[in-house]
Structure 1
Amino acid sequence: MAPEIPGFYYDEDKKKYFKIQPDHVAPPGAQYSAKVLKRKRSDHIKRERKAKLDQRTASEMVTRGAALAQPLVTVHREIGLEMPGGAMREKYARLQVSQLHREELHKFEPWPRANTIRQVVRNPRSGTLIASMARGQESSVSVCFPDIENSQWSYNHTMERLLFREPFRLASMSLSPTDCLLATMDDGPDGACFFSMHWLPAPDDDGGYTWPAISQPTRITPQHPMTFWGTAACPSTTDPIFAIAASEGLHTIHGGENNWLMKKHEIDIGPKKPRSKGHWWPQKNTVCSVEWLNQDVIMSGRKNGAILFNDLRTGSSTTHFQHSDSVMQLKKVDDWRIVAAGPRYLHMFDLRFAPDGAKGIKRNKNPSIANSETSQPYLTFPDFAPLPMPTLDISTDLGLLANPSPDQTIQLFSLRTGRQVPSPLTERKYSSTPSCVSFEAGNDAPAWKGPETLSMLVGIDGVVDQWSW
């Protein structure tokens, strides 16, 4: 800590001393007047006292067991029973989703006209609701802060903020465990691409929000037109790292508040083959989807159906599976199982049953060609009805997969059998096709004021619906 000098104030952020200005000579808005500095010291003392009180409360207060967060699934732990098998767990899941009911959580303001929500996510630590919206070639990202005074988070238009609006095609949005938000866009003016990184604020004692320092949105104009397909945040809770699926291959972006590094990762594309005249052939480098298996391994789904695993420690890549369709979505179920979705098929693969060294898989096969060799899936979902660009989410607690369907409903599938699961959620027919779904796991953390049991957010036009028990 810098030593105190009478008549001067040391700014920790700027690492410099500033002369304290008397109130009667300080200009309006001065940062280092005696009155402003007195208020800063008072606020600092209040924050320290609150932090100590919160720490003492957390250590001394008796809290409800985490097992009770999902009473129909994990109550057996409280009464001394063994973990139920897959059939019993699925029975609990069916009981829970049979009691779901709908409520409109928030309707976002159109910027500048009626927009359609493409992706929605809620920060589990602060309750901030984040939605990416698009209409034509114009895209925007908005946030809505909750009313923290109520026992349950509620949202209104007075706490809604527009992060940015750009004449670009919205590609993806991802929130890391470090509260860093990444949005990517492409197909802008002159083929430019767009990155935006935002550190989301947490509420202070008075319920206000102060935005931390952030880097300016980054526009890049690549030598060749680049298309972004998706992003995924690394599960690390210390560093904001994102994987990006692009037409030019797999990329990662990581860094700090004002210094971000984007890196391209080489992938094994197999032997090159000449393109036949008049025959469409997918780009070998195109990566359409990404997902993190763990903090060191990235799974990437390619346009030709190959599913690759990139190890960041060694820089190597391996093809383990060949999907029967372009891999437009990848989701991790557990350390062994993954779900891959395309415009036509949804399959589950298990790494424990992967071919040794991808033996028997022909690389660079076009999935649109009949009799193309593919990997034998661990589980299939025969009733899967995806959107042209499939979007889905999974709940590992309940063993369920949710998928917006073209018939303007939400499909629920069992991750154990691949069959549909009935629920009031699946019986509701919306006025238009839902654009996204997002599972939320209830918890008992003091900061969490959402549903205590598992719930789901559904984006429909400009509205976010919440389905909870």
Structure 2
Amino acid sequence: MNGQAIPGFYWDPEKKKYFKIQSATASRDANLKYSAQNIRKREKQERVQSIVSARKQRVRKERVARRHVHDVTQICVQREIGLNRRSNYAKCVWPDAILYGLSQRPQKVLDRLGAAPAPRFVRDPVSKTLYIQYGDDSIIRLRPYRDGDPPLPSRMLNPLHILYDMERDDGRITVYTPEVWEEIHRTTSAVSSLTYLPATGSLATTTYGSDRPPTVILSDPVRNGPYIGQQFTPRGCRTIWGAAARPTSFDHSPGLLNTVAASHVEHLAVAASNTMYLFTCPQTGAWHMETGITSLETDVLAVDWISYTTVALGCRDGKIRLYDTRSGGSSHILTHPFPISKIKRADDPTRLVVSGLQDSLFLYDIRSSRPAHPSGSNHDDHHYNPEFINSLYPGHRNSKKRRKMSQKASTHWSQPVLTFYHANVDDLELDVDVHPQLGLAAAAQNPDDDVAIRVSNLWTGKTVKEFRRDKESQSQRVRSLKFMDDVDGGVEIWSSWGGGIAKFTQ
């Protein structure tokens, strides 16, 4: 008896014997061990066990377990996989030291221009020119006036109308005055984003749309003057949420040197409804529009470039997608638990800072999405633990049924690397900015919160500094927030403040 199969008999490997399989009729009302039903269950368990054993054996052969790893070996392995190992000084002390001397009192750059506020602005880093959204549908240009330039008319020299930028450039003091400004665009609906294009010095303006369709306006106010530019109206688009220009600091791939894509000097990604459009500008200067991603299940609310050929998209349903400009394909890589309002590249192309509703500001790593554990396992050893679920529904509002639904939903959410303290319940326009070199992440807070801007450490998740509201900024949303490098090598924080523009500096 060698255990080979015999029709009508079952070989028991424990007892080393054959047993006759009892039919369903013979084993009725009797719990026989070797009935046909029990034999089928036993064979199913054996098949499952063989599959599990084969998988474990394959994993054991394909993986190498590192044992007794010394510091030098670990550093070499981390360097090989591309992980930048930083010292404790660079991670913890340096970001705190950078913002230590930053004043918590806002310093006015530009006062409120009349009755309408200035919710958004961008700045040309070379000429220091400010492009400001004035009201809902107007874009104005504010040129700097430096000490030593031709004198302004006497009415412009009134000290009440001149606001100093407190920036010295080659010994000349730069000032901004509301008198030296001009309108360069008038849109047909409310402006949704204002983007400065670094390669060409152009300006990209997008609108939400209303009774008129949403538009994308691409212009070069320096060369062409006001009210001149290319206007695109995407067909079948309900609204445009935002745009992002590709930075000039990204290194291109070696294979792109002699391609047609390398001749494009500017790239702009636009998030419009459930579609992403890609605008390119060749050396001829004429912009071209192409559809990158179309017919998604939800709206694309946020967009940002993370490398020379890759765009990160944040959707209303919490999905984070990557789009490759070379192949034209996209993939879903991460899932945020709430609608995404802003998405930013962190200090590495594989790390993303994602801001969403319900006070969520997380740091993700696309190399390790780490989905939550199955619903039957312990929820105490990952981010979405009972503490996190109770924070969403404090008090007695977290019923047993809702608690089960939350735990089941958390199995589909991606595990973040870091969680930043954040206050944003339901506002999609609160801005977020990241300084990757200094390891700082600044985020605007709820208008009802005492803190207007909170700056966190990008590597530890701890709060570095908080900037509180004053009387002028009460109940005002910070819809534009930017890190600015000054001429002395330091950093400043510029934001929309009290209907105008203010900065926090030393």
Which TM-score band (shorter chain)?
0.5 to 0.7
Counterpart-to-counterpart distance in 2, 1:456 and 1:434 = 16
Deviation at 1:144, TM superposition (A): 0.6
Counterpart-to-counterpart distance in 2, 1:349 and 1:104 = 35
Cα 1:433–1:91 change in 2 (3 A) is: farther
Kept after mapping to 2: 8 A contact 1:226/1:248:
no
Kept after mapping to 2: 8 A contact 1:436/1:460:
no
Deviation at 1:241, TM superposition (A): 1.5
TM-score (norm 1): 0.66
Amino acid at match of 1:342: G
Summarize deviations over 1:155-177 as a string: whole Å, max 9, x none. Answer: 11232111223340221111111
Deviation at 1:139, TM superposition (A): 1.6
Amino acid at match of 2:357: P
Partner of 1:187 in structure 2?
A: 209
Which of 137, 143, 149 aligns to 2:141? It is 143
Partner of 1:307 in structure 2?
A: 320
Counterpart-to-counterpart distance in 2, 1:99 and 1:293 = 31
Amino acid at match of 2:419: T
Kept after mapping to 1: 8 A contact 2:208/2:241:
no
- 1:103 matches 2:69: no
For residue 153 of structure 1, give the secondary structure of its aligned residue in structure 2. Answer: strand
Kept after mapping to 2: 8 A contact 1:403/1:437:
no
Counterpart-to-counterpart distance in 2, 1:464 and 1:262 = 33
Q: Following superposition of structure 1 onto structure 2, how do residues 185-224 of structure 1 map, counting pairs within 5 Å?
A: 185-189=207-211, 191-201=212-222, 211=224, 215-216=228-229, 218=231, 220=233, 222=235, 224=236
Partner of 1:415 in structure 2?
A: 458
Kept after mapping to 1: 8 A contact 2:184/2:227:
no
Summarize deviations over 1:335-361 as a string: whole Å, max 9, x none. Answer: 2211111112111101232369x999x
Which of 80, 92, 95 aligns to 2:94? It is 92
For residue 485 of structure 2, give the secondary structure of its aligned residue in structure 1. Answer: coil
Counterpart-to-counterpart distance in 1, 2:422 and 2:237 = 36
Counterpart-to-counterpart distance in 2, 1:418 and 1:428 = 26
Q: Following superposition of structure 1 onto structure 2, how do residues 382-401 of structure 1 map, counting pairs within 5 Å?
A: 382-385=421-424, 388-389=427-428, 390-401=430-441
For residue 97 of structure 2, give the secondary structure of its aligned residue in structure 1. Answer: helix
Counterpart-to-counterpart distance in 1, 2:418 and 2:86 = 21
Counterpart-to-counterpart distance in 2, 1:225 and 1:441 = 34
Q: Following superposition of structure 1 onto structure 2, how do residues 271-420 of structure 1 map, counting pairs within 5 Å?
A: 284-333=297-346, 334-344=348-358, 345-354=360-369, 370=406, 371-372=408-409, 373-385=412-424, 388-389=427-428, 390-406=430-446, 407=449, 409-420=452-463
Summarize deviations over 1:86-121 as a string: whole Å, max 9, x none. Answer: 4444323223323213310112534xxx22322222
Deviation at 1:374, TM superposition (A): 0.6
Which of 292, 299, 320 aligns to 1:265? It is 292
Partner of 1:126 in structure 2?
A: 127
Cα 1:162–1:461 change in 2 (3 A) is: farther
For residue 107 of structure 2, give the secondary structure of its aligned residue in structure 1. Answer: strand
Structure 2, unaligned stretches of length 5 or more? 1-84, 149-171, 250-263, 375-391, 393-401
Amino acid at match of 2:351: R
Partner of 1:442 in structure 2?
A: 485
Kept after mapping to 2: 8 A contact 1:387/1:405:
no
Structure 1, unaligned stretches of length 5 or more? 1-82, 202-209, 270-283, 361-366, 445-450
Kept after mapping to 1: 8 A contact 2:240/2:270:
yes
Query: Once superposed, what is the RMSD of the aligned Cα atoms?
Result: 3.1
Q: Following superposition of structure 1 onto structure 2, how do residues 455-466 of structure 1 map, counting pairs within 5 Å?
A: 455-466=492-503
Partner of 1:39 in structure 2?
A: none
Deviation at 1:400, TM superposition (A): 1.6
Counterpart-to-counterpart distance in 2, 1:378 and 1:340 = 11
Amino acid at match of 1:264: T
For residue 92 of structure 1, give the secondary structure of its aligned residue in structure 2. Answer: helix
Cα 1:266–1:153 change in 2 (3 A) is: same
For residue 94 of structure 1, give the secondary structure of its aligned residue in structure 2. Answer: helix
Partner of 1:207 in structure 2?
A: none
Summarize deviations over 1:53-91 as a string: whole Å, max 9, x none. Answer: xxxxxxxxxxxxxxxxxxxxxxxxxxxxxx962444432
Counterpart-to-counterpart distance in 2, 1:298 and 1:180 = 20
Counterpart-to-counterpart distance in 1, 2:125 and 2:245 = 15
Kept after mapping to 2: 8 A contact 1:268/1:317:
no
TM-score (norm 2): 0.61
Q: Following superposition of structure 1 onto structure 2, how do residues 68-83 of structure 1 map, counting pairs within 5 Å?
A: none
Partner of 1:230 in structure 2?
A: 242
Counterpart-to-counterpart distance in 1, 2:469 and 2:93 = 19
Counterpart-to-counterpart distance in 2, 1:152 and 1:292 = 35
Amino acid at match of 2:197: S
Amino acid at match of 1:354: S
Partner of 1:35 in structure 2?
A: none
Deviation at 1:286, TM superposition (A): 1.7
For residue 175 of structure 2, give the secondary structure of its aligned residue in structure 1. Answer: coil
- Which one scores higher on RCO, CA 8 angstroms, separation ≥ 6? 1
Amino acid at match of 2:268: F
Deviation at 1:212, TM superposition (A): 5.5
Deviation at 1:133, TM superposition (A): 3.6
Kept after mapping to 2: 8 A contact 1:215/1:258:
no
Amino acid at match of 1:141: I
Kept after mapping to 1: 8 A contact 2:314/2:341:
yes
Deviation at 1:420, TM superposition (A): 1.8
* Corresponding residue pairs, total: 343
Counterpart-to-counterpart distance in 2, 1:402 and 1:198 = 29
Counterpart-to-counterpart distance in 1, 2:194 and 2:215 = 12
- 1:169 matches 2:194: no
Deviation at 1:214, TM superposition (A): 8.0
Partner of 2:4 in structure 1?
A: none
Cα 1:213–1:268 change in 2 (3 A) is: closer
Cα 1:383–1:258 change in 2 (3 A) is: closer
Amino acid at match of 1:436: R
Cα 1:96–1:149 change in 2 (3 A) is: same
Kept after mapping to 1: 8 A contact 2:422/2:445:
no
Cα 1:397–1:421 change in 2 (3 A) is: same
Cα 1:159–1:91 change in 2 (3 A) is: same
Counterpart-to-counterpart distance in 1, 2:480 and 2:88 = 24
Counterpart-to-counterpart distance in 1, 2:272 and 2:295 = 16
Partner of 1:78 in structure 2?
A: none
Amino acid at match of 1:130: Y
Kept after mapping to 2: 8 A contact 1:325/1:343:
yes
